Amino acid sequence: MTASRRMFLKQWAAAPALALSSGARAVAVTAVPGRGPARSSFDPWVEVRTDHLRHNVAQVHRRVGGRPILAVIKNNGYGLGVVSVARAIEREPAVAGFAVVKLHEAATLREAGVRKPVLCMGPLGDSDLEEAVARDIQPMVYTPVGPVLERLAAKRGRTVPIHVCVDTGIGRVGVPHREAAPLLRDLGRRRGVKIEGTMMTFTEDAEFDREQLRRFEALCGGLAAEGVALGRRHAASSFALFQNESAFLDMVRPGMAIYGVYSETPFRGLGLMDLRPAVALRARVAYVKQLRAGDSAGYNRAYVAREDVWMATLPVGHADGLPRAAAKGGRVKIGGRLFPLVATVSASHCIAELGPEPLARAGDVATIFDGEDGSRPEDLAAGFGGSVYDLLMHLDPLLPRRML
């Protein structure tokens, strides 16, 4: 992979949508009970294109030959809002269900009225398993929890569906493939327990992925010959959709592709799918000023003007999800033009270099990224050599989400 995936921030449920002022002037608003939080018209916001989400689902479905899709909407729906994403695509026939990592996100989906299957891929203790089963959430298991599941099934009076995770080489979670057969046999014979799916995760090393798939298929093939029902086998994330058709198996498990983003830059040129970014991050220019030659900007005087130059301050920083590194090659769009980010990205601000003329003014909409060529999330990440995963999954969950 060209860029490492950093530890993702813990995300929460989708923030409420907010209709933003179209005026350039900031208005002081006093918070009034029942009217929601007071926000400045300059504050950044996230836009979500639900039509693009549905388009991308259709693209994935076509790519995998009509196989069902287990849509990964973990980490607050990759920044778009876990409930917002689920509601936008739940009615799509291609979507068999949803996968999250945190139990609270799975519960949030149920509380929001999402009815399709929800898989919780995070670790669950005995009490967590009981909570999950009570909420009709399918747990991903990889330890000898058969007795617990059997008791819960009896208590509930209904079958408990599960997915079993096998570690074929990523070394993260999952029962090691050499030890998986006894566990799968045990779970498969438990009264009231049904294996809905058997899954694995690729390392995304092309050569080793083939060995991982061989191990997985050998395991599943042997158990199927014994009569062990393994449910749907699934392994392919968004990465594998471009790299390994043999990994499509019975169901695919994409995340980033659903949001219209190519997880690796070379994938855009393959022509396998037309992915349309379903997310945009925007704000309004807060201040435009001219620096004289020798003037500086940013902490530690990170930027020193060589000549007179105009600058635009944007009220978006790393607390909102814009990486600090974005000032080292990233660009933002104002008035249809792309301008370089310079100096430093602070917690709540960044600075764009406009050049010798004041080509923006306070109140203009500034696009950090959106769905247009040149300003896609992949373009911004490529500009500063970062990971596109950081741009989406690190979006502040408290930023308003506008559903378009």
Residue type, 305: A
The Cα–Cα gap between 75 and 403 comes to 18
**Domains delineated in the chain:** 50-269 (3.20.20.10), 278-403 (2.40.37.10)
How much helix, strand and coil, in percent to the nearest 5, is found in the chain? 30, 20, 45
Stronger pLDDT, 88 or 265, i.e. the higher one: 88
pLDDT greater than 60 at residue 253: yes
The Cα–Cα gap between 96 and 93 comes to 7
Task: State in Å, rounded, how far the first CA of the chain is from the last one.
Answer: 32
Whether residue 313 contacts residue 351, with contact meaning beta carbons closer than 8 Å, is answered with: yes
Share of the chain above pLDDT 70, in %: 91
Q: Name the band, by pLDDT with cuts 50, 70 and 90, for residue 40.
A: confident
Q: What is the pLDDT of residues 136-181, one digit of tens each?
A: 999 999 999 999 999 999 999 999 999 999 999 999 999 999 999 9
Whether residue 187 contacts residue 144, with contact meaning beta carbons closer than 8 Å, is answered with: no
Q: What is the pLDDT of residues 184-234, one digit of tens each?
A: 999 999 999 999 999 999 999 989 999 999 999 999 999 999 999 999 999
DSSP string, 176-214: EGGGHHHHHHHHHHSTTEEEEEEE----S-HHHHHHHHH
Three-class secondary structure assignment of 277-340? CCEEEEEECCEEEEECCCCEECHHHCEECCCCEEEEEECCCCCCCCCHHHHCCCEEEECCEEEE
Q: Name the band, by pLDDT with cuts 50, 70 and 90, for residue 18.
A: very low
391: part of which helix (H) or strand (E)? helix 388-393
Residue type, 15: A
Counting every residue written for the chain, the total comes to 404
Give the residue-averaged pLDDT of 12-21: 33
Q: Cα Rg for the chain, rounded, in angstroms?
A: 24
pLDDT greater than 90 at residue 34: no
pLDDT greater than 70 at residue 275: yes
Give the residue-averaged pLDDT of 294-310: 97
Q: What is the DSSP letter of 247?
A: G
- Compute φ and ψ for 401, nearest 5 degrees: -105, 125
3-state SS assignment for residue 48? strand
pLDDT greater than 80 at residue 36: no
Any idea which of 17-21, 202-206, 209-213, 399-403 has the lowest mean pLDDT?
17-21
Sign of CA dihedral 36, 20, 280, 68: positive
The Cα–Cα gap between 350 and 326 comes to 9
pLDDT greater than 70 at residue 62: yes
The Cα–Cα gap between 150 and 131 comes to 15
Predicted confidence at residue 16, as pLDDT, reads 34
Predicted confidence at residue 200, as pLDDT, reads 98
pLDDT greater than 60 at residue 3: no
Q: Name the band, by pLDDT with cuts 50, 70 and 90, for residue 348.
A: very high
